Amino acid sequence: MSHATISQSISIVHPISLSHGKNAEVWDTTGKRYIDFVGGIGVLNLGHCHPGVVEAIREQATKLTHYAFNAAPHAPYLELMERLSAFVPVGYPVSGMLTNSGAEAAENALKIVRGATGRTVVIAFDGAFHGRTLATLNLNGKVAPYKQKVGVLPGPVYHLPYPSADNGVTCAEALKAMDRLFSVEIDVSDVACFIIEPVQGEGGFLALDIEFAQALRRFCDANHILLIADEIQSGFGRTGQRFAFSRLGIEPDLILLGKSIAGGVPLGAVVGRKPLLDNLPKGGLGGTYSGNPIACAGALATLDAMTDAHLKTWGSQQEEAITRRYHAWRTQGVCAYLGRMTGVGAMRGIELVNADGTPASKQLTQLLELARDAGLLLMPSGKSRHIIRLLAPLTIEPAVLEEGLDILEACLRQLA
Ligand SMILES: Cc1ncc(COP(=O)(O)O)c(C=O)c1O
């Protein structure tokens, strides 16, 4: 099918035309089958067309397809917020709001922290990704392509190194950069919030250093700064727990949700400490479609399916399979470009590097094509697009997962 009517500024990783999907498999309009290790970029932790989600959407569509919550509340929104506030593993009373997307959640969080603190400065991290809207662009810790040709962006935003065993940046280095920031660039009393991904998604599936996370929490408390965790990609079971921040032993003040929240229907959320959410004037938050009843129904069915027991089993099964195969590939030397495995749980990246340690971005592009031809969809990540991000549905059948990993191995062997 032609792309003539589509903006050329939308990048397309796989130039195919999809027709339908079932759990971890998708088919294109020519009937070709692919194993899906992209999962709609982290949206499909429950797979394509999860029966519970489909049924909930179908039933909701016969009852109420839309009502603007600002005009009159509806039951699915109210029920979802109650369920979500119990699902987010923090010790304080949770309140929140629904949005249409992850970026819209991040945008609203920026407004919420301004309202709550009366401050405007935001500190984000190198390699971060928080969205493509004008204010979120500036949060991203990567210029090309996001910040190019769009002029001056809303601020003020400063960036710090993101410490992780996966990128070699230590906690001490990040804390030193923080010291410098507050002695050279800005007064700490102007800072409204830090925003951080507990595991960076677009940045290359890098797991945040635990010691740093705890030091950051203490620093925020001491300086009346709010801490926002962006769980849009790392949440809803991706790391084997409900949310990845649990691994860090901290509680964020606000948490951004999206992607797998509603099993494939567009939805996002900002949840967090109740008093923070109530500082903007009435009408300051909301939106026509935000928290649409069909999206809420999808999210309620998602929460039904995501029991802790399921998340743990799914997460550990996928993690075990990926790490076993990765270590075998290393031992057998299947590919000269095979670098580190990054991430935690079932949120795993595999780096491709040249002999001198530089990113093997060209080879990753080649791998994406080889894999697609062989029936496997993969997605790149990392500042240099040299890290394969593995985002297969958590519900993937073990045999299909192994089949996908077999294809990946065969393609790694062919890299030149
Ligand atoms: C961590 C993170 N935050 C925010 C976003 C933006 O979400 P959306 O594309 O739904 O606006 C993304 C999308 O990839 C993401 O991975």
Question: Is pLDDT of 70 > 90?
Answer: yes
Model confidence pLDDT, tens digit, residues 45-69: 999 999 999 999 999 999 999 999 9
In a domain? residue 25: no
Please tell me the distance between residue 259's alpha carbon and the centre of ligand 1 in angstroms: 7
pLDDT score of 1 more than 80: no
Query: From the CB of 107, is ligand 1 less than 6 Å away?
Result: no
Residues 173 and 301 in one domain: yes
Q: What are the tens digits of pLDDT across the range 290-334?
A: 999 999 999 999 999 999 999 999 999 999 999 999 999 999 999
For the chain, the domain total comes to: 2
Q: What is the CATH number of the domain that holds 327?
A: 3.90.1150.10
Report the distance separating Cα 97 and Cα 77, nearest Å: 9
**Given the CA of residue 202, which atom of ligand 1 is nearest to it?**
16
Verify whether ligand 1 is closer than 6 Å to residue 131 (CB atom).
yes
Distance 270 CA to ligand 1 centre (A): 13
Give residue 209's Cα distance to chain centre: 17
Note the pLDDT of residue 251.
98
Q: Is the CB of 103 under 6 A from ligand 1?
A: yes
Q: With the C-alpha atoms ordered 55, 290, 203, 277, is the resulting torsion angle positive or negative?
A: negative
Q: What is the reported pLDDT for 339?
A: 97
Please indicate whether residue 101, judged by its CB atom, sits closer than 6 Å to ligand 1: yes
Instruction: Please write the tens of the pLDDT for every residue from 11-51.
Output: 999 999 999 999 999 999 999 999 999 999 999 999 999 99
Atom of ligand 1 nearest to the CA of 128: 1
Residue 43 covered by a domain: no
- Is pLDDT of 268 > 90? yes
The answer to whether residue 45 is domain-embedded is no
Residue nearest atom 4 of ligand 1, based on CA coordinates: 130
The reported pLDDT for the residue numbered 202 is 97
Closest CA to 244 of 276, 213, 202, 267: 213
Residue 168 lies in a domain: yes
Helix, strand, coil: what percent of the chain each, to 5? 40, 20, 40
Which residues are CB-neighbours of 403 under 8 A, at least 6 positions away? 35
* Residues 84, 191 within the same domain: yes
User: Tell me, what's the pLDDT at 59?
Assistant: 98
Last residue of a domain, one of 306, 339, 369: 306
Q: Residue 65: which residues within 8 A CB-CB, separation 6 or more?
A: 292, 293, 294
pLDDT bucket at 114, cuts 50 / 70 / 90:
very high
What pLDDT sits at residue 400?
A: 98
pLDDT one-digit tens code per residue, 139-180: 999 999 999 999 999 999 999 999 999 999 999 999 999 999
What's CA 146's distance to the chain center, in Å?
A: 17
> Which atom of ligand 1 sits closest to the CA of residue 132?
11
Are both 242 and 359 inside the same structural domain? Answer: no
Work out the number of other CB atoms within 10 angstroms of the CB of residue 134. Answer: 14
- What range does the domain containing 58 cover? 52-306
pLDDT of residue 2: 80
Q: Do 147 and 291 fall within a single domain?
A: yes
Same-domain pairing of 328 and 351: yes
What atom in ligand 1 is closest to the CA of residue 200?
A: 1
pLDDT attached to residue 3: 85
Residue 166, ligand 1, Cβ within 6 A: no
Closest C-alpha to 389, from 340, 343, 349:
349
Q: Can you say whether the dihedral through the CA atoms of 359, 365, 367, 372 is positive or negative?
A: positive
Q: What is the mean pLDDT of residues 241-250?
A: 98
Q: Chain-wide mean pLDDT for the chain?
A: 97
* Over residues 253-257, mean pLDDT: 98
Question: Which pair of tokens denotes residue 30?
Answer: 């020519």
Predicted confidence (pLDDT) at residue 340 exceeds the cutoff of 80: yes
Which of residues 280, 306, 332 is at a domain's end? 306
Say what the pLDDT of residue 413 is. 97
Regarding whether 324 and 290 lie in a shared domain, the answer is: no
One domain for residues 137 and 81: yes
Boundary (domain end) residue, out of 242, 276, 306: 306
Which atom in ligand 1 lies closest to the alpha carbon of residue 234? 1
Among candidate residues 320, 348, 356, 350, the one with its CA nearest the CA of residue 338: 350
**Pocket of ligand 1 contains residue 231 by CB under 6 Å:** no
Quick one: average pLDDT of 259-275?
98
Confidence of residue 416 (pLDDT cuts 50, 70, 90): confident
With CA atoms as reference, report the closest residue to 194 among 237, 130, 274: 130
The verdict on residue 30 lying in a domain is no
- Do residues 263 and 325 both lie within one domain? no
CA-101 nearest atom, ligand 1: 10
Query: What type of residue sits at position 21?
Result: G
Q: Is 197 in the pocket of ligand 1 (CB under 6 A)?
A: yes
User: Is 351's C-beta closer than 6 angstroms to any atom of ligand 1?
Assistant: no
Considering only CA atoms, which of 260, 242, 276, 248 is closest in space to residue 89? 242
Helix (H) or strand (E) holding 404: helix 398-414
In a domain, 329, yes or no: yes
Model pTM score:
0.98
Q: How many residues does the chain have?
A: 416
Ligand 1 atom nearest the C-alpha of 230 is 1
The per-residue pLDDT for 131 is 98
Over residues 103-110, the mean pLDDT reads 98
The mean per-residue pLDDT over the stretch 67-77 comes to 96
Task: Indicate whether 75 and 221 sit together in one domain.
Answer: yes
Q: Are residues 170 and 57 in the same domain?
A: yes
Give the domain CATH number at 163: 3.40.640.10
- Is 199 found in the same domain as 282? yes
Q: What is the mean pLDDT of the segment spanning 103-124?
A: 98
129 CB within 6 A, ligand 1? yes
Q: Which of 136, 197, 233 for a ligand 1 pocket mutation test, highest count of atoms within 8 Å of Cβ?
A: 233
Same domain for 133 and 271, yes or no, is yes
Check residue 300 and give its pLDDT: 98
Task: Assess if residue 47 is contained within a domain.
Answer: no
Q: Answer whether residue 206 is part of any domain.
A: yes
In angstroms, the CA 381 to CA 392 distance is 15
